[in-house]
Amino acid sequence: VRRNLSLRGIHNYAPPHLIQAVDFLARATADYDFSGLVSAWYPLQDIAAAVRAAGDPRAVRIGVSATDSTPSPIPQRGHS
């Protein structure tokens, strides 16, 4: 990490909406399958690949994880 930069993003909703959404997801996980909300997960060191994947119209959301426990395999365009 260089220059102590932070990346934050909120698009089309305010922070209270995000809090409401996360609270809903936490309450409703037993009733609904939310696994499809994130199309693929990438480790932080592969951020460039994650940004490319986010440009794929089939991607719902792309997850980026700062931990070593990133789920895999990661689906890529042209692969199943």
Residue 31 belongs to a domain: yes
Number of domains in the chain: 1
What is residue 32's DSSP assignment?
Answer: S
Whether pTM exceeds 0.85? no
Confirm whether 6 is domain-assigned. Answer: no
**Cα distance between residue 78 and residue 11, in whole Å:** 28
How does pLDDT run across 21-31, given as a tens digit for each residue?
889 989 998 99
58 torsion bin: left (phi>0), alpha (psi -120 to 50), beta (else): alpha
Q: 75 lies in a domain?
A: no
Within a domain: 71: no
pLDDT value of position 35: 81
pLDDT at 57: 87
Residue 74 belongs to some domain of the structure: no
32-55 confidence digits (pLDDT tens): 888 888 888 898 888 899 999 999
Q: Which domain holds residue 56?
A: 15-65
Residue 27 domain flag: yes
Assign 41 to helix, strand or coil. Answer: strand
Residue 32 resides in a domain? yes
**Residue 13 predicted with pLDDT over 60:** yes
* Closest CA relative to residue 51, chosen from 66, 43, 39, 62: 62
Whether 1 is covered by a domain: the verdict is no
> Given this model, what pLDDT does residue 37 score?
84
Strand partners, 42: 64
